[in-house]
Structure 1
Amino acid sequence: MTTPPPPKLWQPPLRGLALAAQKVPQLALFVLMVISLVYLGLGVGVLLLPLVVVAVRKLANRSRRLAHAWSGVRIAEPYRELPPREPGFFGRWRRCRQLLSDPATWRDMLWTIADPVVGTVLALMPAALLVYGLEGLVFPFVWDDLVSAGYDDHYAGLIHVHGETGLRTWLMPLVGMVFIGLGLWAGPKLVTAHGRFTHTLLGPRPSAELAARVGYLTRTRGAVVDSQAAELRRIERDLHDGAQARLVAMGMNLDAVEQLLDSNPEAARALLMETRDSSSKALSELRDLVRGIHPPVLSDRGLGDAVRALALDSPLPVDVVVDLPGRLDAPVESAAYFAVSELLTNVAKHAKAGRVWIDIRHDRDALRISMTDDGVGGAAASAGTGLRGIESRIAAFDGILAVNSPQGGPTMATMEIPCALFSPKTSSS
């Protein structure tokens, strides 16, 4: 469970009200689910059930997101992957069987009826305590009129507020302030308790979670293997088309120099100068190739200085802010470095940007990298292989990539990789 930023005093009651408001559609979906099951044999439920299950899952996923954002409780989706939809009535019938055979469907149904009972109490309690406390502050001034109208003449079950004792003039506000303080203190804890209760109902079972984890690792392993194979092919192509071709040409030039050395020294000298230039270019290409495999600055000085070096080589002005008080694991540094490099390359090629801002920091046991440009926007993982490659690269470390790129810009790409700092920072800056 990750810890979200501490909420402001007024946020837990409002969040509780928002969570309580969600219980109404939950109950409505429970009723529709029951109707779908009752009329499943008549054919009407075959049409209605998939729609209701999809709606329940969307609402359940919203609760999972809120539990993570407001309580720090991460709840994975436990749903089985569904095969492609088949046409016709029998296709809909098979879809119903697939949905009903998923245990997560029945747990969602239990959530739609159990959460409005227990979750509503947890969600409304912060606001109820505050309202009851405000009642103690305000009602002493109008209590006689309220009691005359039939309102109960006891506050908090103990204070008798009707009559001429005068206690209500100071005791009710004091007790009201206690209720307000209790509501402010208990609000975050009650919202967190609601998130944990949601996890109890909507979280995957250990066996399902393990199966999902194994499936995820299998997919990411395949993506990493494919990425490494593509990288090896790129290295082989660069060696074949670049340094290897120059070395072969240098060998041919040296053979020609050997034949011309006695008969035509001037031509031999010219070929030697050409060979020297080719050797310099081959050495430069080999250095670039080695830097593309694993740049020395990354090993020597860490991710921050390696990204600063990338920024200096970029054709665009790049502002880099780094807050890394230590070093990361070498595989994480390498994955993050090449992800940033790929993002910078995409920006330079496609974004038509004038400036780029990169922010790198380690916060709450995760490396967070955000890159913003002032380009034309419209970037999406589905539009090309670049962003998908970055997702595959960091997915091996349970990392995620989020891209916000509306048409017209700006574009902001954010990466988050769970990891820990393991040594002091070696960079001098």
Structure 2
Amino acid sequence: MRDLLPDQVRRWLADLPPLWRDGPPAMLRGLAVGLLAITLNPVLFVLSVVSLALIPAAGLGFAAFPVVTSVVRWRVNLSRRLAAGSGVPIAVPYLPTPTDASYGKWERFRHIVRDPATWKDFAWLIPGALAGGVCGLLAALLPLYGLEGILGIPIFLTMILDWYGYGIFWPIDNAFEAVLTIPQGALFLAIGLAGARWLTWIEATFASFFLRPNASANLAQRVHQLTVTRAETVDAQAAELRRIERDLHDGAQARLVSLSMSLGLAEELLRNDLEQAAALLAEARQSSGEALRDLRDLVRGIHPPVLAERGLDGAVRALALAVPLHVSVDVDLPGRPPAPVESAAYFAVAEILTNVAKHSHASTAWVRLTHRDGRLAIQVGDNGHGGADPANGSGLRGIERRLAAFDGIMSVSSPPGGPTVVIMELPCELSSPRTSPSSGTA
């Protein structure tokens, strides 16, 4: 919810005391939790029971129960998002849906029924309605009651009725009562805002006992993730091999063929036309130099020598110097990552900086590399016009595939108008510790 606010408003909220910074969002979160719990949970529980009852009766449950389950999962995922805002993240435990399991088919029904998370969601609906209704509404109504006391809304309404002659049964000293309600309302408001965070945390913790994945669900998700990662890695390796083959065929191989033809013609002309033979030999020497340059470029595309010699720090600084805009580089790595991870990180930064130079219309960019808690964190940003989307660009999608081979992740923040920030993380351990990290500007 707070992520939707402008940056200036978020900075202003960050400077507030914890009670006023975290209390109102917790109150709104509690209101959402309570209203969803008392309205949707009982309805979805009844629909689930009815759809299950229709299975032996008319057979309609085979088609209805998966549909109802999808709505239940949508509702449960809303609770997961609200719980994450309360500081209790709950992972999604659902098994991957088979590609041929569309709605109305037996495969879909069997998949839904065999998923343990289906029944955990069903078991949570009524207890979740009770816990969410009590904790959520109490978290919202207690601060609102205090706010009502500060504003003196009922007292002032009574005074207005007295003025118009409708409050003949109310006491005359309403103004004095309104003043007395202000400190009482302030006390209830402070207690309510402080308790809202605690109450929403209790509700989220209670929900996590039902909704968090068990060991089998974690294992199934991990197997699915590794299967997808392996397929993407194989595709990426095949594409890389095709690129190398294409570069060899169109570059060095073509130049070597031209070199061979020039040398053959020069050999024939040596007997009759020395001047023409010398020209062909000069052309052959030029072709050999160009072929050597193509081979060096190809080697750099596979594993750059600067990466092997100077490590990720020096290689990223060399990339920054080659970009036609000001790029600041800040590196805090007390050692070197493993060679495959180092190569993946280097090419990811190179691809993003290339996109910045080509498409962002930025004047400055920055690269930050750090290592914390066993993860290599890379941040690349620019002050361009934004609008970068991995779904619409093969470059960013290729980076995701490259990082996925190492269980890495990437997130892109690029609103229209900028700035663009790409954050990547790769799990790894560092070796060859150095005495001091380096940082600077390239």
TM-score (norm 1): 0.72
Q: 2:95 aligns with which of 58, 66, 79?
A: 79
Amino acid at match of 1:130: P
Instruction: Report the Cα offset of residue 321 of structure 1.
Output: 4.8
- 1:26 matched to 2:26? The reply is no
Post-superposition offset of 1:45: 3.4
Q: CA deviation at 1:295?
A: 2.6
SS of the residue corresponding to residue 84 of structure 1 reads coil
Q: Offset at 1:75?
A: 0.9
Is residue 121–residue 211 contact of structure 2 (8 Å, CA) maintained in 1?
yes
Give, as a single letter, the amino acid of the residue that structure 2 aligns with 1:326. L
CA deviation map 1:340-390 (0-9, x unaligned): 4445666788x6x64486554468764344567548x69563x67544433
Which residue type is aligned with residue 45 of structure 1?
G
Q: CA deviation at 1:249?
A: 3.9
**1:296-339 deviations in whole A, cap 9, x for unaligned?**
4445556576456546656xx65545444336734444323323
Which residue does 2:4 correspond to in 1? none
The alignment covers a number of residue pairs equal to 395
Q: How far apart are 1:210 and its partner, in Å? A: 1.4
Q: Secondary structure at the match of 2:125?
A: helix
Q: Tell me what 1:159 maps to.
A: none
Q: Report Cα offsets for 1:158-206 as digits up to 9, x if no partner.
A: xxxxxxxxxx999987776565444444444444444433332222111
**CA distance in structure 2 between the partners assigned to 1:25 and 1:370 by the alignment:** 42
One-letter amino acid of the counterpart of residue 292, structure 1: G
**1:220 to partner: Cα distance:** 0.7
Tell me whether 29-38 or 231-240 shows the greater mean CA deviation.
231-240
1:336 aligns with 2:345: yes
* 1:354-369 equivalent positions in 2, closer than 5 A: 354-355=361-362, 358-361=365-368, 366-369=377-380
2:399 & 2:220 partners in 1: Cα distance?
25
TM-superposed CA distance for 1:217, in Å, is: 1.4
Q: Distance in 2 between matches of 1:216 and 1:102?
A: 17
**Partner secondary structure for residue 95 of structure 2:** coil
CA distance in structure 1 between the partners assigned to 2:418 and 2:288 by the alignment = 44
The answer to whether the Cα contact below 8 Å between 2:152 and 2:178 also exists between their aligned partners in 1 is no
Specify the alignment match of 1:113 in structure 2: 126
Query: Aligned equivalents of 1:285 and 1:252: distance in 2?
Result: 19
Deviations 1:70-102 (A, max 9, x none): 526251332342342468xxx445533432222
CA offset at residue 427 of structure 1? 5.2
Q: 2:79 aligns with which of 42, 63, 72?
A: 63
Structure 1 residues 123-138: aligned runs within 5 Å:
123-131=136-144, 133-134=146-147
Distance of aligned partners of 1:426 and 1:276 in 2 relative to their CA distance in 1, 3 Å threshold: farther
Q: Distance in 1 between matches of 2:52 and 2:209?
A: 25
Q: How far, CA to CA, are the matches of 2:202 and 2:33 in structure 1?
A: 12
Match of 2:162 in 1: none
User: How much has 1:216 moved relative to structure 2?
Assistant: 1.0
2:69 match: 53
| Contact 2:149–2:185, Cα closer than 8 Å, also in 1 | yes
After superposition, the C-alpha distances for 1:26-76 in whole angstroms (9 at most, x for unaligned) are 332222212222233224434432321111112222333343355262513
Matched with 1:417 is 425
Residues of 2 paired with 1:348 and 1:367: CA distance?
18
| Aligned mate of 1:199, from 208, 218, 223 | 208
Q: Which residue of 2 aligns with 1:270?
A: 279
Partner of 1:161: none
1:33 counterpart SS class: helix
Q: Percent identity?
A: 44
Partners of 2:28 and 2:132 lie apart in 1 by: 15
Question: What is the distance in 1 between the residues matched to 2:202 and 2:337?
Answer: 35
The offset of 1:391, in angstroms, is: 2.3
Q: Which runs of 5+ in 2 are unaligned?
A: 1-12, 160-176
In angstroms, what is the RMSD of aligned CA positions? 4.5
- How has the CA–CA distance of structure 1 residues 348 and 368 changed in structure 2, closer, same or farther, with 3 Å as cutoff? closer
> Which residue in 2 is equivalent to 1:39?
54
Paired amino acid for 1:367: I
Contact 1:80 1:102 (8 Å CA) reproduced: no
Larger CA deviation: 21-30 vs 408-417: 408-417
Q: Secondary structure at the match of 2:237?
A: helix
Would you say 1:222 and 2:231 are equivalent positions? yes
| Structure 1 unpaired stretches of 5+ | 147-167
Change (3 A) 1:252 1:97: closer
1:325 aligns with 2:332: yes
